A = this chain, B = another copy of it.
Amino acid sequence: MPKETFFNLPAGKRERIIEAALDEFSTYSFHKARITAIEDRAGIAKGSFYQYFEDKKDLYKYLMELLVEKKLSYINRDMMVNKEKYGFFQLLREVYLSGIRFAKENSRLVPIWMMLVTDRDLLQEIYGEHRDKSADFFKELLEFGKAKGELAPDLDVSLTATMLQSLTFSLIDLIIEDGKLDMDDMVIIDKMLDFVENGIKKRAQG
């Protein structure tokens, strides 16, 4: 956690520091990223960083907290709370949509987070034991879908959750690597949902 002094900083400066940190960490892995570069880009003096943060890891953790916080803020709270009013696939659509909105507006957070997730040692250092909350979220959603009767009752929830999550990642990655697919975001989502709903096997009726 940042020191108190960080939160006492004028908002502009605080933001400049965060921006600089995002720039650095989204470009370089944790160990290659340099505090000095962050200080330079933020326009603060050489050791000033340590007025605000315990150390490199402290800043990194904070960035990850921002990520979670931001991520949540993009989900339509109302829909999630009043699940019953919606169908499973409607909800899933909203989840993907929010994921996209988030990624588009916080594109630098995504690579940071991806590097973290694939770096076991770092993950350990940052979180101690890691608990994948995102998978839990999908599990819950799937249970709900089952209960509603929209999904096959014998569907394996754990595995499917993993797969849905994985698809989310690839969705976000597609969106960020702007131009990889020249397709409108909505179209992408709809095609992906169709894939999830119906698979890719050709059916008799089309």
Residues of A within 8 A of B (CB): 27-32, 89, 111, 114-115, 117-122, 145, 149-153, 155-156, 158-160, 162-163, 165-167, 169-170, 174, 181, 183, 188, 191-192, 194-202, 206
Contact = CB atoms under 8 A, between A and B. Distances in A.
Given A119-B29, A156-B191, A163-B167, A199 B202 contact: no
Contacts of A120: 27, 111
How many chain copies does the complex carry?
A: 4
Q: Is the interface of A mostly helix, strand, loop or mixed?
A: helix
A152 B121 CA distance: 43
Contact of A174 (B118, B162, B195): B162
18 contacts: A27-B120, A29-B115, A29-B122, A32-B121, A114-B118, A115-B118, A151-B201, A152-B200, A152-B202, A159-B174, A159-B181, A159-B191, A163-B170, A163-B192, A163-B195, A167-B167, A197-B200, A198-B199
